[in-house]
Structure 1
Amino acid sequence: MLRNQNEELSEINVTPFIDVMLVLLIIFMVVTPIVTSSVKVELPKAVSDQKQDINKPIILSINEHNEIYFGTELVGSENLAAVLDQKTGGDRENVVYLHVDKSVPYEILIGTIERIKKAGYSKIALCSKVEQ
């Protein structure tokens, strides 16, 4: 039976498709061993006996009357160094936290910081009191 020239072909030419699939198969065959090969990495072991910080934080407060407190204990500005040494056990690497009321004059705050620095404590953190 002969076909007419005007009739369309409904068949798909699969030869280029097979060529592309074979090329992809070869690529995957070459790449797969490269991807699955791994490099052995030795990770460091965790140390379980790390030094725990058992020291309580050193918190000094300056209230609106310019009084310096260590917790609830009133501390005079002249014996601030002695109180810090007593509370830290002479460890000058501790951080001294200052909770300062917003009404405290700048000069009082700077004077207190200077006294703490003269006592040998160089790690000082400033905080402001939150009104409730």
Structure 2
Amino acid sequence: MAITPRRHKRRKLKAEINVVPYIDVMLVLLIIFMVTAPLLNLGVDIQLPQSAAKSIDNNQEPVLVSVDDQGNLYLTLGAAKREPVSEQELQTKVAAFVRQNPKVSVLIGGDKRVDYGRIYQAMVLLQQAGVPHVGLMSQPTDQSSSGKSAAHGRS
């Protein structure tokens, strides 16, 4: 019995992209980012001392200088994000910003666990930068009345 060679049917090539693996990868990445995004700590935890001072009503965003419990300095210029700064950077940036906006409020918020000398040092740096008045921030004594920080003790 003679074997006859079978003819193979030629299949046409498909020019399609299989997107199912790409969708799977994208879903995995989406889940990873959704889980890790809330875990990122973008702020600095500062526990302000409490006082019964009234909040300052100001139309312009103030310059905020924060001192954390380790004594590190952070600067928030207007609506910009808070950034860690050295003493020299603090002086330079605040001096330039105050020259552009002479009526801007400058506030210092120090963690209640930090040495007062470190806050005083920040006030001296601001004075050397040409800031005429510096306010101190605190938490209101009644947390339910206002979520804003109060500023008092302008010097």
Give, in angstroms, the shift of residue 83 of structure 1: 1.3
Q: 1:103 aligns with which of 97, 113, 118?
A: 113
CA RMSD of aligned residues (A): 2.4
Say if 1:100 and 1:55 are closer, same or farther in 2 by CA, change over 3 A. Answer: same
1:75 corresponding residue in structure 2: 85
Structure 2 distance, partners of 1:85, 1:120, is 6
Q: 2:65 aligns with which of 60, 69, 79?
A: 60
Note the 1:1-132 alignment, pairs <5 A: 55-71=60-76, 72-128=82-138
Give, in angstroms, the shift of residue 84 of structure 1: 0.9
Unaligned runs of 5+ in 1: 1-52
Letter in 1 for 2:64: I
Higher mean alpha-carbon deviation, 72-81 vs 85-94, is at: 85-94
- Say if 1:85 and 1:91, in contact at 8 Å, map to a contact too: no
Q: SS in structure 2 opposite 1:114?
A: helix
Q: Which has the higher helix share?
A: 1
Unaligned runs of 5+ in 2: 1-57, 77-81, 144-155
Residue by residue over 1:53-81, the C-alpha shift from the partner in whole angstroms, topping out at 9 and shown as x without a partner, is 76321111111111111132001112212
Structure 1 distance, partners of 2:119, 2:132, is 15
Structure 1 distance, partners of 2:64, 2:86, is 15
1:11 corresponding residue in structure 2: none
Higher mean alpha-carbon deviation, 92-101 vs 109-118, is at: 92-101
Q: SS in structure 1 opposite 2:130?
A: coil
Letter in 1 for 2:110: V
Residue by residue over 1:13-39, the C-alpha shift from the partner in whole angstroms, topping out at 9 and shown as x without a partner, is xxxxxxxxxxxxxxxxxxxxxxxxxxx
Structure 2 distance, partners of 1:70, 1:85, is 12
Structure 1 distance, partners of 2:59, 2:65, is 19
Structure number with higher relative contact order (C-alpha < 8 Å, ≥ 6 residues apart): 2
**TM-score when normalising by structure 2:** 0.44
**Aligned positions, number:** 79
**TM-score when normalising by structure 1:** 0.51
Residue by residue over 1:78-130, the C-alpha shift from the partner in whole angstroms, topping out at 9 and shown as x without a partner, is 22121113444533432211111001112111111011011110211001358
